[in-house]
Amino acid sequence: MNVTDTYEGTIERELFSAEEIAQAIARLAVRIAQDYCRRPVLLLGVLKGALYVAADLARALGGQPDGPSESAVDYLCVSSYGNASRSSGEVRLLKDATEPVTGRHVLLIEDIIDNGLTLGYLRALLGERQPASLRSCVLFDKPYHRLVDVPVEYGGLRVPDAFVVGYGLDYQEVFRNLPYLAQLRPEVFTDR
Ligand code: PRP
């Protein structure tokens, strides 16, 4: 991979600034707070991509008047892309949640939905554990290559049909810590 520590020359363009992402999360928090008003919710972030959105959404929810009565935060970890730029189509559970979900209001938090297999897999997995309710919040939506019709109750920003990185999204584990969402130059990834 031809990247430098400063990512110089690897970014095609910025798609959403840090401020635009923060605003989108604030909008999601308002909607979620209204729906979970005075009920406890278990926020389940999907690592690694959702490490930032789950943390930022949890804090934004805490600031909502008449929001959830309490917000527990947990993470699980799955992988479908490995180190490739295209999904392998095979979702693997690398680390399960530590919190029980049975009888609880569970909100899955994802950074992005693309073909939908990851979210479909997780909703089926967690649904078997009989939560009181199960919904999904996804910050970025790539609707162009959906393979399964999976519900997203709280959707954020639509992104172009391009390889995107930043704000949790990686290419070969790099770029996750960009504070904004960016389109990667095609010549950076070699496995297309
Ligand atoms: C990414 C992303 C979602 C999933 C969405 O995860 O974080 O979990 O792909 O893609 P899909 O809708 O096509 O299934 P990835 O497998 O790259 O792992 P990561 O979160 O550790 O980067």
Q: Is 56 a catalytic residue?
A: no
HSE toward the beta carbon, residue 15, CA cutoff 13 A: 23
Distance from C-alpha of 75 to C-alpha of 66, rounded to nearest angstrom:
25
Which one of 5, 66, 114, 170 is the catalytic residue?
114
Both tokens of residue 8?
A: 């110089």
Q: What is the pLDDT of residues 117-176, one digit of tens each?
A: 999 999 999 999 999 999 999 999 999 999 999 999 999 999 999 999 999 999 999 999
Cβ(51) – ligand 1 distance below 6 Å: no
Confidence category of residue 8, pLDDT binned at 50, 70, 90:
confident
Atom of ligand 1 at shortest distance to CA of 145? 13
Pocket test for ligand 1, best of 52, 75, 80, 85 (most atoms within 8 A of CB): 80
SS3 per-residue string spanning 35-79: HCCCCEEEEEEEECCCHHHHHHHHHHHHCCCCCCCEEEEEEEEEE
- Residue 51 backbone phi and psi in degrees, to 5: -60, -40
Whether cis (ω within 30° of 0) applies to the bond prior to 95 is no
pLDDT tens per residue, range 84-106: 555 667 899 999 999 999 999 99
Enter the DSSP assignment of 116.
Answer: S
Nearest 10 degrees: Cα torsion 44, 47, 53, 59? 50
- DSSP at 169: B
Give the pLDDT confidence of 26-78 residue by residue, as tens digits. 999 999 999 999 999 999 999 999 999 999 999 999 988 889 999 999 999 99
Greater model confidence, 119 or 4 = 119
